[in-house]
Structure 1
């Protein structure tokens, strides 16, 4: 009997107390969850943060998470203040592409109808500028459209209506005074010519709220008014398809 008692005593002495492993494992779990929360809180939005807190709560309490989408998002969220900027950049890029296509179509129209001497085209910061010499549109000193101008204007209208951009119609003259009972100055003549083009555009189904007009008279010449050719080039109506802002 004595011998058996010693054997039992030896078994008790040789057994190691492992109860400390449980709180140690809990501590490691808590630290892991804490680091996950700290990391995630710096890169996720409020909704994802709340989801992570649910994960943290689940680790502590052992409860089941109802949502299957709780946790980190595979991609970083876009801040709300930047979403508007991205949309604007996308819209601008799309509109620029549309204007590029329109310019190519206008170039083809000018070349196909042999209008190079009367109609010019260029791209500016404002948009696409179509410049028509007054000879193709008006008689000298007049602001009423000539009958022969309608075919050219109709071709331009068909192409311009493929985009929704605003349109500025701007009249220009040379520096020869407008000796006319109707128009007391080149300002008035240039403005009247711009209005005539605008009204015709409106009659051909271009929305009035897209259009504006200006009369610059002799004050924005392309060339010095020192020759017939230069004065002729300065007498013009510009149709600018403006970039959307």
Structure 2
């Protein structure tokens, strides 16, 4: 009997104490919660942060989280990324429409002055005005400047040319004076072809501008003859429009 009792006592004494497993399990739980927080915090927003804190609190205190949607999710939240094309579109628009320069402002003011001269003097039928990549282009039909087949300026053209020269002096841009004709061959002994006639007419306007104290270094001329028409030479009206002298206030990068 005593032998059996001794065996029982020996077995009881050899039993291992497993109480350390409780704090060990708590540490593992806390570490798991910490790693979950660190993982989720990389894609976090206000609502997600609140859920994480509630979950962390639950792990620390053992309280339950109410609601089916609270706590951490195994799926990362969808974050709306900014539209990358918005900035690209803005940059593209700015490149297409660069900020106005001082020269742009000056040429715009010059355009307004020229339009007023044309309008006030009712010259719309003989003078046209346009702004192009080259600059401001003033096209004068030959009837306001010359007699047919001649290169000497009419005295009646002086008032108009004076007004144009005064406006041209308000800027420092170079000026190109360009003569044009229709395709009807010249039939007098002074000019061998329409090239000579168009060049001589351009030179006449150039010399007039020079006489109005426009710096010679700003002036240049060219004669295109019949080879740059703005209309087909198929009607009398079109031919008259093609016979012209263009005064071009050039942009500084077009010289």
Query: Are 2:222 and 1:191 equivalent residues in the alignment?
Result: no
CA deviation map 1:186-219 (0-9, x unaligned) = 0000000000000000011011100100000000
Which of 105, 123, 130 does residue 97 from structure 1 map onto? Answer: 105
Q: Would you identify which runs of 4 or more consecutive aligned residues in structure 1 move more than 6 Å?
A: none
Structure 2 CA distance, aligned partners of 1:223 and 1:118? Answer: 15
Structure 2 stretches lacking a partner, 5+ long: 1-97
Within 2, Cα distance between the matches of 1:208 and 1:180? 31
- What is aligned with 1:207? 215
What is the distance in 1 between the residues matched to 2:228 and 2:123?
Answer: 23
Give CA deviations for 1:1-55 in whole Å, capped at 9, x if unaligned: xxxxxxxxxxxxxxxxxxxxxxxxxxxxxxxxxxxxxxxxxxxxxxxxxxxxxxx
Rg bigger for which structure? 2
Counterpart for residue 184 of structure 2:
176
SS in structure 1 of the partner of residue 179 of structure 2: strand
Report the equivalent of 1:107: 115
Which TM-score applies when normalising by structure 1? 0.63
Aligned 1:220-239 pairs, distance under 5 A: 220-239=228-247
Give the aligned partner of residue 163 of structure 1. 171
**DSSP 3-state at the match of 2:136:** strand
| TM-score (normalised: structure 2) | 0.60
* Cα-to-partner distance string for 1:62-114 (whole Å, 9 max, x where unaligned): xxxxxxxxxxxxxxxxxxxxxxxxxxx99x81011100000011001100010
Indicate whether 1:123 and 2:96 are aligned. Answer: no
The equivalent residue for 1:152 is 160
Match of 1:130, SS state, is strand
Q: Aligned residue for 1:133?
A: 141
Task: Give 3-state SS (helix, strand or coil) of 1:109's partner.
Answer: helix
**What is the aligned partner in structure 2 of residue 79 from structure 1?**
none
Cα offset, 1:180, TM superposition: 1.1
Count of residue correspondences: 156
Q: Which SS does the other structure have where 1:157 is aligned? A: helix
Question: What RMSD over aligned residues (CA atoms) do the two structures have, in Å?
Answer: 1.2
CA distance in 2, matches of 1:224, 1:192: 23
Q: Gaps (5+ residues) in structure 1?
A: 1-88
TM-superposed deviation, 1:156 = 0.4
Distance in 1 of aligned mates of 2:231 and 2:108: 28
Distance 1:155 1:203 in 2: 13
